[in-house]
Amino acid sequence: MKPILRMVTVSSLSLAFIYAATGQVTSTRLLESSKEPQNWLMYSGDYAGRRYSALDQITTANAANLIPKWAYQTMAGGKFETTPLVVDGILYATGQDDRVFALDAKTGRPIWQYQRPLPGDIRPCCGKVNRGLAILGDKVFVGTLDAHVMALDTKTGSVVWDVSAVDYRKGYSFTLAPLVIKNLVLLGVSGGEYGIRGFIDAYDVGTGERKWRFYTTPGPGEPGHDSWEGDSWKIGGAPAWITGVFDPVTNTTYWTTGNPSPSNRGEGRAGDNLYSNSLLALDPDTGKLKWYYQFTKHDEHDYDATQVPVMMDYGGKHLIVQANRNGFFYVIDRETGKLVFATPYAQQTWSDAKDASGSPVARKGSSPTPEGNRTCPGAAGATNWMSPTYDPQSGLFYVTAREQCDIFSTAPQPYDQGHAYYGSAYFPNDDAQPFWGALRAIDTGDGKLRWEFKHTSPTWAGVLSTAGGVVFTGDAEGNFIALEANSGKVLWHFQCGASVYSSPMAFAVNGKQYVAVAAGSTLFTFGLP
């Protein structure tokens, strides 16, 4: 009797295991994503925003042998910025023009495809792009270019719910991958080029009902409202178009915001312009602000903070770090919001001093002028939305950097709802050397550069680190590149045929590791022979 009982117990245990490995994604699985490195359950791979894969089959010793495994072509034009999700052998991703598709992760063969019929008058700022999905239960969640939030059935791609967040004609859109926390799907809005009022929303995963909205420019009576001149907060921008992160220990979700509008003209919006260019710590259940840290006050150079902030613990401290578009690497205590230190990781001329807290402050005379004022970084920033990665093994933070200064010119521009609202122009600095880019490995302890790999020209590819000691990135010339995490030595590269405008990820099917990246109109996967 006893042995039989044991057998039953064992088999039910293994059944339970199989169910856990192949069942629907639960909140617990999202929290414990590190326990299933074969899957990539959210945009940055985990709630900490590390874009780190614990898969270690591809190593510094064998990465030279990598070969393409399959490719999936969307056949759409424009930038392909997605990071796929992989859940138990199924890959879910988005494409240009709000395409969503599910593929057999082993073969690349499509299982379902969805494309949203978009109105002709959408106002995306920089191409009809989308960066990815969030998943929970039997639904994937997507934000659309016409500012809707949708849930699609994971098995069929059918629309389960579809809600309008805001009137897209005023310049609003969604381009980021949403983030699921508990039973809410969180996402922030794009539109900093149109004089919108930025916000971060949370929707019920089951019904699509909006549970809270946090406006990133405070209204009358709210703290921070007096950081805006007159009614400028109403069209103050501060969009939140990059996916946030989540600390379950303190129940805090961190989101970043973009430029105040108009992006390159400070006249008419005197003040710090809260909460533009900031890191926000929010209660994910209520959307209530716990604290904020503003990287660039009263910005006039389009120095968005919309890069994934990365949580890490170092020297007993709970930190959150960001290589900001303004050229400084910031380390912040994620419990208090206090700056630990900020140090440059790229050429910058906008700041020549720090305040008492150590925060860089703007140099007098760095503002755009009618005739043009050369400032570094340029309007594209020292980095941009492409994801950095933190490798807990090497202890290094890897970021795509850009060396480009621009000449910032400003001109008065009346606000016209739904129309571009820059108040400016900017140009590359013609007499300079060609702009260039680099993958930089930064020591998180002191912010010092450990190594860099120079790109021929600036790239919009993000970075992935893996437990095999290999980091992956791409370049504007179309190469997908594997480098040694400790040294920056190139181990392997593959010519994808078009610029990489995405951040790579890794997954495994049937025990075999794959690395995936979008380039051109194609999603590529690579693996060992």
Partner 1 sequence: MKLSIESNNGTSRRALARRLFFSILAAILLSYCGFCSTAKGQEKNPLAGDPKSAKLGESQFRANCAFCHGLGAKGGGRGPDLTRAQKKHGNADSDLFRTINDGVPGTSMPQNGATQQGVGMTPDEIWQVITYIRSVEVKNTGALAGNPAHGKELFYGSIGCSTCHMISGKGGRLGPDLTAAGTARSVDYLKESVRAPSKRLAQGISEAMKEFSQEYETVSVVTQDGTAFQGVVLNEDSFTIQMLDVREQIHSFDKAQLKSYEKTRTSLMPAYDAKTVGEKDLDDLIAYLLKIGSEQGGPQ
Instruction: Check binding of 117 to partner 1 (CB under 8 A).
Output: no
To partner 1, the closest distance from the beta carbon of 126 in angstroms equals 6
Which residues neighbour 459 within 8 Å (Cβ) at sequence distance 6 or greater?
Answer: 386, 400, 402, 437, 473, 474, 475, 476, 499, 500
Tokens of 505: 């990820």
Pick the stretch among 155-163, 239-247, 389-397, 429-437 that binds partner 1 (CB under 8 A). 429-437
Pick the stretch among 62-70, 105-113, 305-313, 432-440 that binds partner 1 (CB under 8 A). 432-440
Q: Quickly count: other Cβ atoms within 10 Å of residue 468's Cβ.
A: 22
Tokens of 189: 């809005």
The C-alpha atoms of residue 375 and residue 406 are separated, in whole angstroms, by 6
Instruction: Check binding of 2 to partner 1 (CB under 8 A).
Output: no
Instruction: Check binding of 29 to partner 1 (CB under 8 A).
Output: no
3-class DSSP state for residue 202?
Answer: strand
Rounded to whole angstroms, what are the CA distances from 235 to 125, 147, 331? Answer: 16, 17, 30
Among 3, 120, 221, 316, binds partner 1 (CB under 8 A): 120
Instruction: Check binding of 409 to partner 1 (CB under 8 A).
Output: yes
Instruction: Check binding of 416 to partner 1 (CB under 8 A).
Output: yes
To partner 1, the closest distance from the beta carbon of 346 in angstroms equals 17
Contacts (CB under 8 A) with partner 1, residues 434-453: 434-435
Tokens of 399: 């970021």
Q: Which is nearer to partner 1, 425 or 449 (CB)?
A: 425
To partner 1, the closest distance from the beta carbon of 198 in angstroms equals 16
Q: Which is nearer to partner 1, 431 or 511 (CB)?
A: 431
To partner 1, the closest distance from the beta carbon of 40 in angstroms equals 25
Q: β-pairing, 52-53 with 464-466? A: parallel
- Contact present, 270 and 234 (Cβ < 8 Å): no
Which residues neighbour 75 within 8 Å (Cβ) at sequence distance 6 or greater?
Answer: 521
Among candidate residues 102, 119, 191, the one with its CA nearest the CA of residue 153: 102
To partner 1, the closest distance from the beta carbon of 451 in angstroms equals 15
To partner 1, the closest distance from the beta carbon of 192 in angstroms equals 10
Contacts (CB under 8 A) with partner 1, residues 123-162: 123-128
Contacts (CB under 8 A) with partner 1, residues 450-489: 454-458, 460, 475-479, 481
To partner 1, the closest distance from the beta carbon of 38 in angstroms equals 31
The C-alpha atoms of residue 321 and residue 323 are separated, in whole angstroms, by 7
- Tokens 């985990």 correspond to 46
**From 146, 201, 302, 406, active-site residue:** 302
- Contact present, 523 and 69 (Cβ < 8 Å): no
Contacts (CB under 8 A) with partner 1, residues 156-215: 193-194
Rounded to whole angstroms, what are the CA distances from 387 to 156, 473, 504? Answer: 30, 10, 9
To partner 1, the closest distance from the beta carbon of 463 in angstroms equals 15
Instruction: Check binding of 501 to partner 1 (CB under 8 A).
Output: yes
Active site residue 355: no
Among 493, 512, 522, 528, binds partner 1 (CB under 8 A): 493
What are the phi and psi torsion angles at 41 (to 5°)? -95, -10
Contacts (CB under 8 A) with partner 1, residues 68-97: 77-79
Which residues neighbour 300 within 8 Å (Cβ) at sequence distance 6 or greater?
Answer: 263, 264, 265, 266, 366, 367, 368, 408, 410
Which residues neighbour 364 within 8 Å (Cβ) at sequence distance 6 or greater?
Answer: none
Q: Which is nearer to partner 1, 115 or 343 (CB)?
A: 115
The C-alpha atoms of residue 14 and residue 36 are separated, in whole angstroms, by 16
The C-alpha atoms of residue 93 and residue 80 are separated, in whole angstroms, by 11
Residue 248: CA count within 13 A, CB half-sphere: 13
Q: Which is nearer to partner 1, 267 or 416 (CB)?
A: 416
What are the phi and psi torsion angles at 153 (to 5°)? -70, 130
Q: Which is nearer to partner 1, 449 or 490 (CB)?
A: 490
Size of site (CB under 8 A) for partner 1: 51
The C-alpha atoms of residue 303 and residue 324 are separated, in whole angstroms, by 8
Rounded to whole angstroms, what are the CA distances from 455 to 10, 55, 104, 434, 494? Answer: 54, 26, 33, 12, 15
Instruction: Check binding of 422 to partner 1 (CB under 8 A).
Output: yes
Instruction: Check binding of 392 to partner 1 (CB under 8 A).
Output: no
Quick one: residue 405, left, alpha or beta (phi over 0 = left, psi -120 to 50 = alpha)? beta
The C-alpha atoms of residue 518 and residue 236 are separated, in whole angstroms, by 33
Among 520, 523, 526, 527, binds partner 1 (CB under 8 A): 520
To partner 1, the closest distance from the beta carbon of 411 in angstroms equals 6
Instruction: Check binding of 364 to partner 1 (CB under 8 A).
Output: no
Site string for partner 1, 277-316 (x = CB under 8 A): ----------------------------------------
Strand partners, 344: 328
The C-alpha atoms of residue 491 and residue 484 are separated, in whole angstroms, by 7
To partner 1, the closest distance from the beta carbon of 112 in angstroms equals 22
Q: Which is nearer to partner 1, 293 or 422 (CB)?
A: 422
Tokens of 148: 């809707």
Rule CB under 8 A: which residues touch partner 1? 77-79, 120-121, 123-128, 193-194, 372, 380, 409, 411, 413, 416, 419-420, 422, 424-428, 430-431, 433-435, 454-458, 460, 475-479, 481, 490, 493, 495, 498-499, 501, 520
Catalytic annotation, residues: 302
